[in-house]
Amino acid sequence: MAAEKGETWTDAAVLPRTSTYDLRASLNPAGRNTNQYEVGNLAWTLFYYWQHCVAYGDEDAMKNKLFPLLKEAINTFIYIRTEKDGKYGLPVTASPEYVSTSAGENTNYDLANLRFGLMTLIDIDTTYNMNDPLLETWKDFLDNLVDFQTDANGYKISSTIGIPSGGTSHRHYSHLFMLYPYHMVSWEDSEEQAALLNTSLSKWNGNQGYSRTGKAAMLASKGDGNGALSQMTTFFDTYIKPNTLYAETGPVIETPLAAVSTLHEFYMQDWGDRIRVFYGLPTSWKEASFINMRAKGAFLVSATRKSGKTVFIQIESEKGGPCRLQTGMPGNNIYVVDMDGNEIPFNLINSENGIIEVNTQPDDVFQIINKSEEPVLPYAIEHPLAETMPYGVNKGPDVPLTSLSFSNETETLTESDPSKFLTLEAEPSFAPVGTVVWANSNSEVVRLQNGLIQAIGPGEAEITVTNIDGISAKCKVTVVGNNFSSYSSISEDDTYAYDSSTGKITTYGDESTIYIKYDGSGYNRMGFFKFSIEDIDKYASEGYLSKIEASLYINSSMATAGNTSWQFFAVPDLTWTEKTLTWNNKPAASTNKLGEIQGKSNIDADSYAESNRVSFDITDYALEQYNSGIKKIAFNATQKNIVAGGAHSSYFASKEHSDARRVPYIKVTKGDKITNIHNPDDFSIQVY
């Protein structure tokens, strides 16, 4: 930009998204057309340095390190700002991740970064009497800066781009930075502001892992701990890995760190004019405690919640000064004492929310007690045994698995109902089962595939499942009849390929979901499925074959997946396996499109629904393979087109999924008798 204007800016700085280890990198204004001109990243980064300074009361760092660097960040905005009708605005800059073209002028992302910088520079200058020559420039810029951009759907991306009425589930919440992390606006401001925030959050249906952490923090700032917990529960159940990392294009650390920060918001918040204790806590968390969380003003805060009530708060003041707290205690029950038990005077600001203010000196320590409750010092909370999440802080004691059983100890397969999925039950129910091995005592009666049993002939068989510790369960299966109406067979290989820089050489055959996305180079995922068809003639006895269909379960999908369709193409090469397939060696698909199904949006991975299963007819393809002596079939799964906003990822369950009802399978259904099983022209094809 400086070069475009024929200028040299030695007093301005930016921080592009990627740089060398010394943080040196150029920011090219040409990136405006591809949403890469991220002018505000440095100001955003310095917000966290500012948080550090105010939490430690570090005046030297505030004045001599933060202040000059923040000046350079804001100088960039001063150089590029626009002016119209007496208002300052911003040219086209970036709004992280929302579009791949121009994000438009006055992005809310950079308006929030700019406002933070201006407000902070003015505050530091006036607090410490810096007398900077740019003070009046900052004040004028802030006073005449355009407002945040809004429309009927809440806060927009920029002056020209809003959130669509159907919502978007793109992961980034950069357009809501004025709410979090900056807290420039809140639900407490006015009814109109609260309504705007409610609309904004309801329209932004972000449902990637990073999105969940941001929305949870926003809801916690509203005091909606239950809503915040719902977001974080989905985050832990769906996105986080056992090693606490998170993966989209590869393992990353920023999303787990964002999650930790959000969990802190459950316990304590320090935005605005006060410290809020347990303000974002879910109502189901009746017992909670924390020790020495650091708050703005250099205060160390400890607190205990017992039986759903805050019963104890302790404050250590490192630097002195007024300490305002929202205790959550009834105002008329608040009692403040020093460490010797002497009562300390305080100002009661709001009785209903227990907001008080205490004047402190450096190194003061005082305690706030609810007079109607017995005070309890912070202690380690004993978690329920049923908590099995393996992330350390919330895992209960290890309880060994004592027994396994099938939901039914006996099963009967008939001619009209020849296949079933066996369901395992553990005791205790929350104990991990681990890897299991299946065994079948009579393969001439029952075919067994990872919990799927298929009738072959009359008789009895015993199915046994055993885990790594030798704990087992048995189910007696009786098959009645010999003329079965259908058979089902799960995939023998299923995986996906990913064209990111690392994904191109990575295999994903062990994962429980098959990730499908078409989003341009570097973001594409393509699924692959392979099935055996060697038993077609055996199960369609005497030539009663009418239909062969493939069936996949949509484990989850994002908000705009319904704006595209899923396509399935035959794959002639059958030499690949799920253990070896990568993007670089993936087999080519043919032009034989086996099916196309309209996508479905916002499918939740947490709950099972049969309506989330999709099927398509593969009769012609399967018979052609079989008649050619090829006893396997394979197809890929892709999305038809790119969807604006990028929020169209879909996840199909793989054969490794723990819920057997969701695994991929093919089903052969017998209809009217035909004269030649090997003549595809005799079949009436139905597409589902």
Question: pLDDT per residue over 413-423, tens digit each?
Answer: 999 999 998 88
Per-residue pLDDT averaged across 630-651, rounded?
Answer: 83
How far is it, in rounded angstroms, from Cα 239 to Cα 244? 10
Query: Lowest mean pLDDT: which of 22-26, 69-73, 245-249, 297-301?
Result: 245-249
pLDDT value at 47 more than 90: yes
Per-residue b or e along 562-582, where b marks 16 or more CB atoms closer than 10 Å to that residue's CB: bbbebbbbbbeeeebebeebb
Q: Is 158 exposed, middle or buried (0-12, 13-18, 19+ CB in 10 A)?
A: buried
User: How would you label 91-109 residue by residue, b for 16+ Cβ within 10 Å and e otherwise?
Assistant: bbbbbbbbbbebbbbbbbb
Average pLDDT (221-239) is 88
Q: What's the CA gap between 468 and 562, in Å, rounded?
A: 42
- Which residue bears the tokens 């029952």? 446
Mean pLDDT over the full length of the chain: 88
Mean pLDDT of 480-505: 88
Highest mean pLDDT among 172-181, 382-391, 522-531: 172-181
DSSP three-state, residue 53: helix
Residue 645 has a pLDDT of: 55
pLDDT tens for each residue of 298-315 = 999 999 999 999 999 999
Taking only the tens place, the pLDDT of each residue in 458-482 is 999 999 999 888 999 999 999 999 8
Range scoring the smallest mean pLDDT among 120-134, 343-357, 412-426, 428-442:
428-442
More confident residue, 502 or 130: 130
Statement: residue 684 has pLDDT above 70: no
Is residue 366 pLDDT above 90, yes or no? yes
- Closest listed residue to residue 231, CA positions, set 165, 291, 173: 173
Q: What is the pTM of this model?
A: 0.67
For residue 583, give both structure tokens. Answer: 């993007």
Rounded CA-CA distance 550/488 in Å is 10
pLDDT value of residue 656: 87
pLDDT category of residue 560 using cuts at 50, 70 and 90: confident
Average pLDDT, integer, range 332-341: 94
521, with CB counted inside 10 A (0-12, 13-18, 19+), is: exposed
Return the minimum-mean-pLDDT range out of 206-210, 269-273, 657-661: 206-210
CA–CA separation, 193 vs 155, rounded Å?
11
604 and 558 Cβ atoms separated by less than 8 Å = no
